[in-house]
Structure 1
Amino acid sequence: MPAGSGSAPRKGSAARREPDAAFVLDVRSLGRRPGTMRELHRTVTTVERIGLDLIAVPVGAEIELDLQQQAVSEGVLVTGTVRAPLEGECSRCLEPFTDEVSVYLTELFAYPDSTTEQTTDDDESYRMIDDTIDLEPVIIDAFGVELPLQPLCTPDCAGLCPECGVRMAIAGSDHSHEILDPRWAGLAKFATASPGDGSPDEGAATAADHSADMASNMTEEK
């Protein structure tokens, strides 16, 4: 499934693919007697990315299938758990992270010419074809619903500092920036000036000393 495509529409029938391999199940041995069951435990290696823009099952990942197939009057009911590793990018701090997804499936694959097949549209239910069922579109749909559109590396991720862009997880809770009104930026230079460098305070002190000396000299002359 291409990145960012989300939940795919249901496919009316499985494409002709190698039976009983990867996501395709051959159900001929199950038969059609209602109530007949068969367990399925399989590991499938992905050949394409499955998921959303910021989080997905990567290419080459192993998807674990732990399923039960049950024959019912209208088709084959597939239930069970599908687990897979995830690779994502945090939507707040943009850091890569890994996770795992687990979904529970309950899906009916309709028999050809069954009432379900005849009374539903192709995008409303899944179909069997040549006694096989294709789980790939089911899993794509399930992952598309389960995965978050805005994934987080941790639930309490503080994101990035809006001033300098550093990750707040690294900067710490005491990280801050002093923001000055630009109208006072020029005066701030004088406030931080060192003694003797021509600051206003030094000039005021020099003028005061000069006035005191002049007053003292005038007193002595009298």
Structure 2
Amino acid sequence: MPDVYSIALNDLRHQEGSRVDLSRILTNPEFATDLVHTDGDIEIEGALQSVSEGVLLTAHATYDTVSECSRCLKIVEEEGDADLTELYFYPNRAKALVESGDEEAGELPLIENDTINIESLLRDTIVGQMPFIPLCEPDCPGLCTVCGERLADLPGDHEHEQEPVVPNPLDELRAKLVAEKRGE
């Protein structure tokens, strides 16, 4: 089974300046952080171009993400898009850079068996754009500390007769120390 992230370069001539269009739909890949993940297909439109060092990929990806608001727990579905640009090196060009003392050249993306693999590029770009702390709205008020309902869904005069009891960790520690001192 072929790797869904591999792009064959059969139609691209190895002559500097040669270009082919790229159109690819990746079916349900999963890129995620702890709080956000892609949902559905990722569409990629762009081009591959031969350059002296290898093949330059320039493309635009569109995708959907799903997360949970970190304040009110509402499910958040959003559309995302990303510009992709990566130079994939011919192995002999990368080897020449390594031999010339370029220490980072050993980590360059390579053309292998006349294909390129875009998984790392997609993962780094898409995950890098995902919010660290997802919110349904920038000013989401969160949840009521008493009833647990979303404050955004409650009337402005929402209140409870009794204030919530919030345990104080220092009081708990003090009680524990006193109990230990008494031998309880």
TM-score, normalised to structure 2, is: 0.78
- Show the counterpart of 2:17: 35
Aligned to 2:6: 24
Instruction: Confirm or deny that 1:133 pairs with 2:112.
Output: no
Partner SS for 2:149 = coil
Q: CA RMSD in A?
A: 2.1
Q: Which residue of 2 aligns with 1:176?
A: 159
Equivalent residue for 1:56, pick from 37, 57, 71 = 37
Displacement of 1:171: 1.1
Q: Secondary structure at the match of 2:132?
A: coil
Report if the CA contact (8 A) 1:110-1:117 is conserved: no
C-alpha distance in structure 1 between counterparts of 2:11 and 2:55, whole Å? 12
Instruction: Answer yes or no: is the 8 Å Cα contact 2:90–2:111 preserved in 1.
Output: yes
Q: Does 2:150 align with 1:167?
A: yes
Do 1:111 and 1:117's aligned partners in 2 also have CA atoms closer than 8 Å? no
Residue deviations 1:68-106, cap 9 Å, x none?
111111111111111111111111111212111101011
Larger RCO (CA within 8 A; separation ≥ 6): 1
Amino acid at match of 1:175: H
The whole-number CA distance in structure 2 between the counterparts of 1:142 and 1:153 is 22
**CA deviation map 1:80-135 (0-9, x unaligned):** 11111111111111121211110101111111110576333443x21111110011
Aligned to 2:82: 103
1:151 partnered with 2:141: no
The correspondence for 2:28, drawn from 46, 49, 57, is: 46
Q: CA deviation at 1:173?
A: 2.4
Which of 46, 69, 73 aligns to 2:48? It is 69
Partner of 2:71: 92
Q: Distance in 1 between matches of 2:97 and 2:79?
A: 35
Unpaired segments ≥5 residues, structure 2 = 166-184
| Aligned counterparts of 1:56 and 1:127: Cα–Cα separation in 2 | 28
> Secondary structure at the residue paired with 2:91?
coil
4+ runs of 1 displaced by more than 4 Å?
Answer: none
Q: Which residue of 2 aligns with 1:198?
A: none
Structure-2 residue corresponding to 1:112: 91
Say whether the 8 Å CA contact 2:28–2:42 is kept in structure 1: yes
The total of aligned residue pairs comes to: 159
Aligned to 1:50, what secondary structure does the other structure show?
coil
Q: Which has the larger radius of gyration?
A: 1
Q: Equivalents in 2 of 1:84, 1:101: separation in Å?
A: 5
The alignment's TM-score, normalised by the length of structure 1, stands at 0.65
